Chains A and B, each alone.
Chain A
């Protein structure tokens, strides 16, 4: 008995000692990341078709390009090497030659990235049947492989930002020729790129799973695994973040959301460019808006600063011009009219409407647009303008406004931060809705065509910027559209999660994950 007790005691002591003196493994930092996205499912992971915010976010982890924006920035001046190590342009700016980095590998053993892949990819980007962004590449005349590591691109006319077209954004992403040809239609869910992360599996409606591309040319990613959860419901996403089931989650551009989220300990909120510029586009051909005084009255009646303040000053500010403020050559001296309801009333009276006017606007039921429309309604009322809102489901609204069914269109958009994109799509006469070349010119504005076209081909960058600023002043002066607010998107994250760069902007509209992203311990 005694012996038995003794043995037991010795055993327990030995075990305790073993536990106490065993080398304690350093607690490894977490390497598996779970994100909660405001999306219902994967749409299309072929980068040349990825149009939704969520798909764009994901393709930026999977694919690379010839050049890339510095992580965390949307400034075209930050564009630097990605696959291309170096490049040079001919004096006329029409022929560009890129030297590729050797030894960069596609995911899943699809071999080395070569000039042939680049040629294939850029040819795909400019083919309307295989790309949604073909319009951006209209000026590309030919893309050739000079040798396996040299690519030459010839343009038929000058474009405002050659590097922008070839950066890690939309049609600039490079796809593997072999994988695309092998996988055909299924490439959209089984994509092959050379970015830091690769698709492991997709559970429809539940999650997309990624693993690190250990052979990534900038180094092995610090994260090993990413689970991208589809949490389309705002409340569910918030609760999942609160419960710690996701490490970061898409947020809401809403003051109360921000307050609620920041109240949780260990939480950070990132707001990032490109800010979406919401504008009230006015059809200048339809009475009473064919009278400049009526349009000016509308401009005096609205107060962008008030709307921005209502949404939340942390991520929303008043719009100032005809392009978003992160655009090259943006000017806040475009002549946007100040808030002055009395002046609005006086102008209306002068235009022959002493009792004010009543107008109807089709309005999207998208919550962010709906909120602005309702504030707009009350602001206009103060100036004697009765705004009747006709709420329409968002997809229906998108088609109806393209059929010119609403003289007023409240539209929010961010574009590639070179003004040519925003100005051309919203204010060039080629883009007027209803035309075969239509884009999103809802105002039928044609007053700045000359400046937009001149800037596009201008060689001198100072003169180019002068043309763009002149275009902004002309459009705002003629009140084709009234800038209301600029709103950045927001994501909440646990403070331990470090993006690995200063997250001020993302051309992919969501958090960029790089080989540097990690969890601090």
Chain B
């Protein structure tokens, strides 16, 4: 277990280093002058030059790279070129928004998706199966922002159950939950579609195996066979999908954040990119990489709890 962890952490460090270098180079290859973005097109040439000097952009690339690496090793992500706030502060301000949304969507998606998948598998080839498969296909094909706008039109404009602006200004937990409902639903729909399909196919495979027939033969009730014997053996593929998808979900939440006017990592990275905020962009990609590495590691570790046969070497 310890050597497994050490190995994985070693890989994580190498991955991080490669990503750091790649990001550093990519943001600088990209045309676009941060000084021009910050000061605008009416800024005097002298002001532009002064700002480039202050940001260190007039230094040769290797010098900038060395400084960047030194800072990164010390855990210093620098300051945002646009706002002047520490990159870590910028990220920590929006991180709770992203985490609460992603976690809520994940939970809702799993709570709805797993039973739906099980039901579809049990009713294979019959109406509920077709309906669920169709719905999950719709969920997968519908772009997040379309789902988001439709949800807003129906629930915020027509029915007025939820607010359009889904963050900020909430004083009570109830108000906070009301704000979160629609964005959570928008993301959970996609999550649910994924989980339904994975659960269904995993269940179908397990249900056709010998030990299920044995369980039935020894008189276990149908529900016990499905929920204990079969589903227990499906958890590994489901967890893998959830783990992989969590990374995608955090990244993909950008459209949801934009439409629902919520702050979040996705929106922050997009504005860092359009405004050529090199330091913020670098810092955020480091954090993203860390998150993906951590989620993957956690997913691997979860296997051991779900299936005692899995050993970490």
Q: Which residue of chain A is the closest to B53 with respect to CB atoms?
A: A129
The docked-state distance in angstroms from the alpha carbon of A439 to that of B261 is: 36
Instruction: Given A235-B149, A394-B274, A398-B41, answer yes or no on A207-B258 (Cβ-Cβ < 8 Å).
Output: no
Q: Which residue of chain A is the closest to B275 with respect to CB atoms?
A: A395
The docked-state distance in angstroms from the alpha carbon of A245 to that of B160 is: 11
Whether the pair B31, A128 counts as a contact (CB closer than 8 A) is no
The residues of A that contact B61 with a CB separation of less than 8 Å are none
Q: Would you call B260 an interface residue if the criterion is a C-beta within 8 Å of the partner chain's C-beta atoms?
A: yes
Question: Could you say which of B37, B44, B85, B149 has the most chain A C-beta atoms within 10 Å of its C-beta?
Answer: B44
Q: Which residue of chain A is the closest to B37 with respect to CB atoms?
A: A395
A402 to chain B, nearest CB (A): 8
Question: Could you say which of B41, B82, B160, B275 has the most chain A C-beta atoms within 10 Å of its C-beta?
Answer: B41
Whether the pair B42, A398 counts as a contact (CB closer than 8 A) is no
How many residues of A are counted as interface, with CB atoms below 8 angstroms from the partner's CB atoms?
57
Whether the pair A134, B263 counts as a contact (CB closer than 8 A) is no
CB < 8 Å neighbour of B40 from A132, A203, A231, A438? A132
Q: Would you call A131 an interface residue if the criterion is a C-beta within 8 Å of the partner chain's C-beta atoms?
A: yes
A303 to chain B, nearest CB (A): 27
The residues of A that contact B264 with a CB separation of less than 8 Å are 205
A320 to chain B, nearest CB (A): 23
Whether the pair A231, B261 counts as a contact (CB closer than 8 A) is yes
Whether the pair A51, B43 counts as a contact (CB closer than 8 A) is yes
A131 to chain B, nearest CB (A): 6
Whether the pair B45, A136 counts as a contact (CB closer than 8 A) is no
CB < 8 Å neighbour of A51 from B38, B45, B93, B163? B38
Question: Could you say which of B42, B94, B163, B275 has the most chain A C-beta atoms within 10 Å of its C-beta?
Answer: B42
The docked-state distance in angstroms from the alpha carbon of A425 to that of B44 is: 10
Interface positions of A from 226 to 262, Cβ below 8 Å from B: 227, 229-233, 235-236, 239-240, 242-243, 245-246
Instruction: Given A233-B261, A245-B163, answer yes or no on A398-B47 (Cβ-Cβ < 8 Å).
Output: no
Instruction: Given A132-B43, A205-B263, A239-B157, answer yes or no on A188-B258 (Cβ-Cβ < 8 Å).
Output: no
Whether the pair B274, A236 counts as a contact (CB closer than 8 A) is no
Instruction: Given A235-B149, A239-B157, answer yes or no on A134-B46 (Cβ-Cβ < 8 Å).
Output: yes
Whether the pair A398, B163 counts as a contact (CB closer than 8 A) is no
Instruction: Given A396-B32, A398-B41, answer yes or no on A207-B168 (Cβ-Cβ < 8 Å).
Output: yes
Instruction: Given A232-B258, A239-B156, answer yes or no on A42-B47 (Cβ-Cβ < 8 Å).
Output: no
Whether the pair A240, B165 counts as a contact (CB closer than 8 A) is yes
Per-residue interface assignment for chain A, residues 123 to 164, with 1 indicating a CB less than 8 Å from any chain B CB and 0 otherwise: 000001101111110000000000000000000000000000
Q: Which residue of chain B is the closest to A136 with respect to CB atoms?
A: B44
The docked-state distance in angstroms from the alpha carbon of A188 to that of B90 is: 15
Q: Would you call A399 an interface residue if the criterion is a C-beta within 8 Å of the partner chain's C-beta atoms?
A: yes
Q: Would you call A406 an interface residue if the criterion is a C-beta within 8 Å of the partner chain's C-beta atoms?
A: no
A133 to chain B, nearest CB (A): 7
CB < 8 Å neighbour of B44 from A41, A134, A232? A134
Whether the pair A128, B47 counts as a contact (CB closer than 8 A) is yes
Per-residue interface assignment for chain B, residues 25 to 52, with 1 indicating a CB less than 8 Å from any chain A CB and 0 otherwise: 0000011110011111111111101110
The residues of B that contact A312 with a CB separation of less than 8 Å are none
Interface positions of B from 152 to 181, Cβ below 8 Å from A: 152-153, 156-157, 160, 163-165, 167-169
Q: Would you call A291 an interface residue if the criterion is a C-beta within 8 Å of the partner chain's C-beta atoms?
A: no
The residues of B that contact A133 with a CB separation of less than 8 Å are 42-44, 47
The residues of A that contact B46 with a CB separation of less than 8 Å are 128, 134-135
CB < 8 Å neighbour of A245 from B31, B38, B165? B165
The docked-state distance in angstroms from the alpha carbon of A185 to that of B84 is: 7
Question: Could you say which of A205, A229, A231 has the most chain B C-beta atoms within 10 Å of its C-beta?
Answer: A205
The residues of A that contact B38 with a CB separation of less than 8 Å are 43-44, 49, 51
Q: Which residue of chain B is the closest to A414 with respect to CB atoms?
A: B42
Q: Would you call A331 an interface residue if the criterion is a C-beta within 8 Å of the partner chain's C-beta atoms?
A: no
Whether the pair A128, B41 counts as a contact (CB closer than 8 A) is no
The docked-state distance in angstroms from the alpha carbon of A401 to that of B85 is: 31
Q: Would you call A189 an interface residue if the criterion is a C-beta within 8 Å of the partner chain's C-beta atoms?
A: yes
The residues of B that contact A134 with a CB separation of less than 8 Å are 44, 46-47
The 5 closest A-B pairs by CB, nearest first: A135-B44, A51-B40, A205-B263, A395-B32, A128-B46
Assuming A243-B160, A395-B31, A439-B45, what are 16 further A-B pairs, CB within 8 angstroms? A43-B38, A43-B82, A51-B42, A129-B47, A135-B45, A135-B46, A189-B85, A227-B169, A236-B258, A239-B156, A239-B157, A243-B163, A395-B276, A396-B30, A398-B33, A415-B42
Q: Can you name 14 A-B pairs with beta carbons within 8 Å?
A: A40-B267, A40-B271, A128-B46, A129-B54, A135-B46, A135-B47, A188-B84, A206-B167, A207-B169, A236-B152, A240-B261, A245-B164, A402-B36, A436-B45
